[in-house]
Each structure stands twice: as structure tokens, then as C-alpha cells.
């Protein structure tokens, strides 16, 4: 089967499940998006790696990457290889001493590792056909997400840059990476001006 390359294009609260998040994968060179509902911890693990944040202590996915690196194992690619009853399945394709190994993984964990290893993410046409959405649908969801976001930013807008940086250090110490991302966005927005 021909593989289709994907990239992470968004990470947001899930519209259908309030306690979960959605990672949106985009088809490289195409218009389809693959939304996958994931848990809060996994969303945080992906966000930390995407934003190049460095927690005080390694998160589980960082620890796993460090262990693989230590033993000379590379993650070559992640393949979202199946979809059964609404659940996505993934494989970690690893290489060690010239041997290739496929390891079963939860999709959210596979994505968190793909970001850390900077390796490609793939899926198959049948998965995009059954669970993919066209770009227009994703744009509508982004607009809905944006309408809810300003409330968090309004309280940050009242703080000085120095206060924002202090708060950022504080939330990173508490390992609250979701809030850290919001604060970092506000700091970056101000620095652009």
C-alpha cells in the first residue's frame, strides 16, 4: 500500500469531547486533514515538543527518546496503519544496527515521539478516505476555536512583559505546559509589534 505523508497542522480542544484534545494532521501536498482525538497528557507532550519547551525534568516521551538514543535506536517513521471502531492504530518504525523493527503504539504516543525525533508521519489512503476531512471543514473548526480563545488572552493582555516572563517561569516549574504555551504566544505577539 502506498503511504501518504502527514504533518501536524494544529492542536486544539476537541469539539466533540470536552476533556480531550484533537491533533489535526494535514496531508502533505493535499487538502485533506485527519483529526485524531487524544488525551490531555498526550496533547501536552506534543505541544511541549512542538514549541521546543524544556521542562525541568524529562517527560515520559523525552525519557523514551533519551533511552532509544542511548542504545543507538532511531525512529525512522511513524505509520498510522489502521482505524477500527473509531480508534487509530500506529506503528513506530525503528532501526538498530541495520535491522528495522515495527513497534505497536498508541497514535498519540507515536505522534509525541515523531515530533521529538523529527521523523515523518504516514498513513494510508483507506484511512484518509474513511476519517479524513477536506480543508474547508478544518477551517470552520479553527474559526470556532479562535472565538473561544480570547478569554484566556484578555487576562494576559493586562500584564507587563516582565510579569508575563515571570508567570511563564512559574507555570513551567509547575509543568503546566498548556498555560505556558498561551503565555509564550502573548510574549511573542508583543515582541512582533
pLDDT at 16 (0 to 100): 59
Q: Tens of pLDDT along the chain (193 residues)?
A: 889 999 999 888 766 556 788 899 999 999 999 999 998 888 888 988 988 888 888 889 999 999 999 999 999 999 999 999 889 999 999 999 999 999 999 999 999 999 999 999 999 999 999 999 987 544 444 444 333 333 333 367 777 888 877 887 777 777 677 777 777 777 777 777 6
Count other Cβ atoms within 10 Å, centred on residue 100.
Answer: 9
The model carries a pTM of: 0.69
Q: Where are the domains of the chain?
A: 3-134, 149-193
Label residues 172-183 b or e (16+ Cβ within 10 Å = b). beeeebbbbbbb
Q: Which CATH class is domain 3-134?
A: alpha beta
Full strand arrangement of the beta sheet holding 121-124 = 99-106, 87-96, 74-84, 121-124, 3-13, 21-27, 32-38, 133-134
pLDDT for position 191? 76
Amino acid at each position: 500500500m502506498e503511504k501518504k505523508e502527514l504533518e501536524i497542522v494544529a492542536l486544539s480542544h476537541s469539539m466533540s469531547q470536552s476533556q480531550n484534545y484533537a491533533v489535526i494532521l494535514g496531508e502533505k501536498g493535499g487538502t485533506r486533514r485527519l483529526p485524531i482525538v487524544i488525551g490531555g497528557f498526550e496533547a501536552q507532550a506534543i505541544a511541549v515538543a512542538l514549541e521546543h519547551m524544556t521542562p525541568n525534568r524529562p517527560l515520559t516521551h523525552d525519557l523514551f527518546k533519551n533511552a532509544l538514543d542511548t542504545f543507538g535506536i532511531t525512529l525512522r517513521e511513524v505509520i498510522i496503519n489502521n482505524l477500527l471502531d473509531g480508534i487509530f492504530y500506529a506503528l513506530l518504525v525503528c532501526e538498530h544496527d541495520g535491522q528495522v523493527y515495527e513497534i505497536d503504539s498508541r497514535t498519540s504516543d507515536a505522534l509525541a515521539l515523531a515530533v521529538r525525533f523529527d521523523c515523518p508521519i504516514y498513513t494510508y489512503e483507506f484511512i484518509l478516505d474513511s476519517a479524513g476531512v477536506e480543508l474547508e471543514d478544518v477551517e470552520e473548526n479553527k474559526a470556532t476555536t479562535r472565538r473561544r480563545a480570547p478569554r484566556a488572552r484578555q487576562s494576559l493582555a493586562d500584564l507587563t512583559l516582565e510579569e508575563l516572563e515571570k508567570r511563564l517561569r512559574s507555570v513551567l516549574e509547575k509543568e503546566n505546559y498548556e498555560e505556558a504555551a498561551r503565555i509564550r504566544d502573548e510574549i511573542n505577539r508583543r515582541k512582533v509589534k
